[in-house]
Amino acid sequence: MSAPHHIVDAARGWIGTPYVHQASVRGAGSDCLGLLRGVWREVLGAEPEAIPAYTMDWSEPQGEERLWQAALRHLEPKSLLEESHGDVLLFRMRNGAVAKHLGLQSVVGELAAFVHAYSGHGVIESGLTAPWRRRIAARFAFP
């Protein structure tokens, strides 16, 4: 079992990495899935499956929850209310849209925060403010 503080430390090690679609190289480039993949490699070892090429819309026109389905294959689903350090957060960026943004919860409680790769910003740590919380579609723990 991976210790939550190792997950948070690994995620924070990616802060400052530029945003690059489909990339997963700390310091060189990453998107939100690439961040999760990189943290997985650092904490757990080899990735559990090959990642197919994907578009930035994540099958949104077809309405397929591909990211959610992949998370269910490899992560442990949790209640949205059961916050822990190192949780994987899956966000739905618009109501009714496919859930296609990921982050790793770094702080719980009143000043909750998460680390994520965000287009135009790179890998950053953001406050898990009310607008972000409203977008959380699912919460998972590392195995």
Split the chain (143 residues) into runs of 10 and give each run's mean pLDDT. Answer: 83 98 97 97 95 68 82 96 96 88 96 96 97 97 95
State the fold for domain 4-141.
Answer: endopeptidase fold (from Nostoc punctiforme) (3.90.1720)
pTM, full prediction: 0.93
Q: Which residues, 6+ apart, have CB-to-CB distance to 39 below 8 Å?
A: 7, 10, 11, 14, 104
